[in-house]
Amino acid sequence: MRSFGSQRFTSYLFLAPYGLSFLVFIVAPILVALSLAFTQLDLTSRVPSHLVGLDNFSEALHDPYFGQAAVATLRFTILIVPSLIVLAFGLAIGLQAMSFGRNAVRGLIFLPGMFNVVVASLIWRWFYDGEFGLFNFLLKKVGLPHAPWLSDKSWAMPSIVAMSLWWGLGGATIILFAALQQVPTHLYEAAMLDGATSRGLFANITLPQVRPVLLFVVVTSTIGGFQLFGQSFILTSGGPERSTTGLVMLIYDTAFHKYRLGYASAISWLLFAMIAAFVLLQFFGLRRSVD
Amino acid sequence: MLAGLKAISNGAASSAKLHLNFWNGWTGPDGVAMLDVIREFNRENPDIEVSMQRMDWDTYYNKLMVSAMSHRGPEVFVIHASSLPRMVRAGFVADVSDLYGSKFGINKSDFEPKVLAPVQYGSKTVGLPLDVHPQGLYCDVDLFKKAGLTNPDGTIRPPRTGEEFIRDIKATQEIAANGDHDVWGFCWTMWRFNFMSLAPQFNGRYFDQNGNPDLANPGNVAALSFMGDLMNRQKLIPTPESSTGWTGFRQKKVAMVLEGVYMVGDLKTLDDFHPAAASVPQIGPNPGTLADSHCLCLRADLTGKEREAAERFVAFLSQHSIAWAKAGQVPARISIRSSPEFEALPIQYAFSKEVPFVSFPPKTPLLFEMTQEIDLAVEKVLRGRATAKEALDVANQNFTQVVLRDRQENAR
Amino acid sequence: MALVALVFLAPVILMLLTSFKTSGEVLNPSTIIPHPWSLAGYAKVLKYSEESPMGLWLLNSLLVSTSVTFLVLLFSSMSAFAIARLRVKGAGKIITLIVVSMMIPGQLFLIPVYLILNWLRWLDTPLALIVPATAGGFGVFMLTQFMKSIPPSLEEAAVIDGCGLWRIYWEICLPLVAPAMATLGIFTFIGSWNDFLGPLVYMDSVRSYTLPVGIALYQSSYVSEYSLTLAASALGTAPLIVVFIILQKQIVASMATSGLKD
């Protein structure tokens, strides 16, 4: 499988269609966006756009709202990624252990993910509502006091995480389940003949086999976590007191309400740097059988 | 489906007509009312075809800006008076001074000066106000009657002063045996709007005479302190959750709310809920409330026949603004407000009485940044985490930074 | 596990039931079962008007989403094959570049892509929604990782038999990752279906909208008309559920024939 000699050219042909699309719709816009970060481009300004060097980046690093949004973004990501992975893996294993009804259960777990983020968030906003929401209504019925789901700073982000888990677990579970299904059963059979325990099977066969896909799920959910926007936009409008305003919401406000495209671009690149740092750590952590 | 195909083929056949695109953010029943007016215009003007596109205001403004920048924008569009400064600075809004005058019979004297002020930029006039939408007081008739707050003729008596307001809150609220409120007298709706409705009553303002930010002036502090006091000390208002006020009001769990006249559209969807409307109670030394306005605008690069057709369309909308009023708005034109048809719309008519003393948001291109700071300040006070003075001082400091940066950038 | 499934299902059932409530009752938590039942929300949504062509939107969504899914499955699997199985030179760098591109916030692309589409004259055509969607790295990354888990023995046999690259890809590699392909297909379809910002910004006329965007027209700016929104969302999501059920059967069928479980 190492060298195909004269077929090397054909090998590259396999990459061609995607490569073209990638160049035109990813690379080109990135280059534009990169240059934007070094300009002052304000759509509603009297002054034409001009290069400002690192001014946008320095403004961001001195902007308290940037710092606050960065913290909120990190908080969300750190809360959701581990819980998503652990729960999804657990659900996938649970699915594998089921002997009947498996398809139905898998479908039900995935069902919430089919709704777009706006609809899903609207429903949970009603659940979480302080005065007229379903959860507090149920709490009152069993004699407990109202909970400040979205109105208290220490409750708001966890509430958003809970809703995001309900919405996103299906996707991660399905992928991990597919990976589990792909593990060749003869590996398990051979090990069991050797007298392996179920924990041993898990650690020595399952984990290594699904490691590439696990890495994929960790990386993609991290990237997704950093890009928190829809849920907090609908559930809390970024509150209380901007505590659930993530960097993407900041970028959205800057680009689409203040029309400061250059500054928004700089914030986006700083966000990118944060994501890259995190993902690099994850790659080194889970590296082994990836390449 | 069939009608859809028919519409496509009609579209192809009518390419001989002059086609105008009209964009706005009226996604609710008010948009449906506007559709009827457009249909009538298309019927009466067979050489023009207007088609409307609507989406939520946030996305609408983005799309308007993006398309205008690449010259694909609509010919006619709506801009809130409060958003005009930013859009005008972007440069795609036309001077429509010749919409006024004998050409279409629309005279500037038919508008109050403060209603025209947002569309005047020096010698240029950049839009035609279609309506004025103030914030006012909605009252639940049944809860008022239950509390005995009625006139001899059976109609309810809404509060007109600060004392009456507090008294009525206490009269209409219903507290159960365990201390829970079954009914609240009053509840916030959109905090910022509530604040900006009260601030003018205390002579509050946002910029001083030199154009510098003045968010922490005594008037604003007084208004915000009143709100905080009502909430945290007197405990007459439930814990703040934005926009729940209206929900509670619909469910008859809240007796009074401050909201805009445009909520009439939502009320129409409820079968037997007919609240009364009144001016915002005068809690400060003066009467006052917040208002905004929908202004009809044209694209700056329109010429010749297109421009003429667009002008005809806008004038038509203005002349037919009674239909718009029925959808839940207060027409901008004095003559139309004085018509018996308008006076027959109870809620709209009650709101129109406020027009003499409404305050528009300040005419600044940085309104979004300003309102973000105000939102934060109001939230802090309502949650009891800062006094009004402290919160507004911080807001003013932050906003001043924004203003200075903007001035520096635009001075080049 | 069945209890777990209930946790996921319950809010959806609530949503469905609430969509049948009358406008006044919608936000009242004490009544879960609608009383009375009202089809008002659905009626409003389905009532055809020139301005809200539900049928057209549905067709647009189907056209766009199926095209995107097909193209993404094809392009991604070909690329993953080259990277993971053929081990082309520079494969490591390529996959790194792709993953890096996924880390860049999507907002950054909106306006540059708009300008490019404008220059290509693709705005307000289905191409604007289909082609840019094929550039995403999710599919390539996912299939690459799945293909890395396959033992190379089967392909080596084919090479010895003298098979060309395309045959190896089509007849051996693809069936081995069929479950992953079906999963990617579902994800891509749903992502494309629910894409909101794209159609809104790249399409000018109401007729070109996709279903979710059209449905958003029913959200009044001032107040959430919940029953209307929920009815519209239920109708807008139903096709997705149908597609999922169909593809689910494929996953089960293909796993049985994938030749891995023996």
pLDDT mean over B297-301: 93
Query: Does one domain contain both A53 and A167?
Result: yes
**Proportion of chain B above pLDDT 90, given as a percent:** 63
Query: Does one domain contain both A207 and A157?
Result: yes
Q: What are the structural domains of chain C? A: 53-224+238-256 (1.10.3720.10)
**Each residue's pLDDT tens digit, B243-268:** 578 878 888 888 999 999 988 888 87
We report the CATH number of the domain holding residue A189 as 1.10.3720.10
Residues 6+ apart with CB under 8 A from A114: C190, C237, C240, C241, C244
- According to the per-residue pLDDT averaged within each range, which of A236-240, B2-6, B334-338, C219-223 is highest? B334-338
Residue A101 scores a pLDDT above 70:
yes
Query: How would residue A99 be classed by pLDDT, with cut points 50, 70 and 90?
Result: confident
**Residue from C108, C119, C245 to probe the interface with A (highest A Cβ count within 10 Å):** C108
**Residue from B241, B253, B370 to probe the interface with A (highest A Cβ count within 10 Å):** B241
Neighbours of B108 (CB within 10 A): 12
pLDDT (0 to 100) of residue B412: 53
Of the CA atoms within 13 Å of residue B246, those in its CB half-sphere come to 22
Distance CA B25, CA C157 (A): 63
C33 touches A: beta carbon within 8 Å: no
Query: Does one domain contain both A22 and A53?
Result: no
Query: Does one domain contain both A46 and A22?
Result: no
Contact C225 B28 (CB under 8 A): yes
Quote the number of domains for chain A: 2
User: Tokens for C104?
Assistant: 């860049």
How many angstroms away from the CA of B47 is the closest CA of chain C? 20
Query: Does one domain contain both A13 and A51?
Result: no
Query: Does one domain contain both A16 and A60?
Result: no
pLDDT mean over B296-308: 92
Which residue among B58, B380, B409 places its CB closest to the CB of A241?
B380
Query: Does one domain contain both A45 and A84?
Result: yes
pLDDT (0 to 100) of residue A1: 45
User: Tokens for B29?
Assistant: 């029943």
Contact B72 C123 (CB under 8 A): yes
**Each residue's pLDDT tens digit, C249-261:** 665 555 444 433 3
**Each residue's pLDDT tens digit, B341-360:** 999 999 999 999 999 999 99
pLDDT (0 to 100) of residue B177: 79
Contacts of C200 in chain B (CB under 8 A): 55, 59, 63
pLDDT (0 to 100) of residue C10: 87
Element (H, E) at B89: helix B84-90
Distance CA C152, CA B208 (A): 76
Contacts of A206 in chain C (CB under 8 A): none
Query: Does one domain contain both A79 and A215?
Result: yes
Query: Does one domain contain both A74 and A92?
Result: yes
Which residue among B90, B239, B376 places its CB closest to the CB of A43?
B90
pLDDT (0 to 100) of residue C24: 65
pLDDT mean over A206-211: 84
Contacts of C11 in chain A (CB under 8 A): 112, 123-124, 127, 166
B:C CB pairs within 8 Å: 79
pLDDT mean over A101-125: 85
Contact B273, B69 (CB under 8 A): no
How many angstroms away from the CA of A158 is the closest CA of chain B? 17
Query: Does one domain contain both A208 and A118?
Result: yes
Q: What are the structural domains of chain B? A: 3-130+293-319 (3.40.190.10), 134-289+364-409 (3.40.190.10)
pLDDT mean over B156-174: 92
The residues in A 135-154 lying below 8 A from C, measured between CB atoms, are 137-138
Question: Is the omega angle on the peptide bond into residue C151 within 30 degrees of 0, that is, cis?
Answer: no
Contact B364, B214 (CB under 8 A): no
Q: Which amino acid is at C139?
A: G
**Residue from A2, A13, A18 to probe the interface with C (highest C Cβ count within 10 Å):** A18
Contact B70 C222 (CB under 8 A): no
Query: Does one domain contain both A223 and A91?
Result: yes
Query: Does one domain contain both A7 and A132?
Result: no
Residue B15 scores a pLDDT above 70:
no
Contact C103 A21 (CB under 8 A): no
Which residue among A95, A170, A181 places its CB closest to the CB of C1?
A95
Neighbours of C209 (CB within 10 A): 24
Residue A229 scores a pLDDT above 80:
yes
Which residue among A45, A50, A239 places its CB closest to the CB of B410?
A45
Residue B240 scores a pLDDT above 80:
no
Distance CA B93, CA B298 (A): 6
Which residue among A21, A108, A271 places its CB closest to the CB of C105?
A271
pLDDT mean over A76-95: 93
Element (H, E) at B49: strand B48-54
pLDDT (0 to 100) of residue B176: 83
Of the CA atoms within 13 Å of residue C203, those in its CB half-sphere come to 27
Phi and psi (nearest 5°) for B291?
-145, 155
Q: Which domain holds residue A1?
A: 1-37
List chain C residues with pLDDT less than 70: 23-27, 29-32, 35, 41, 44-52, 154-155, 158-162, 216-226, 249-262
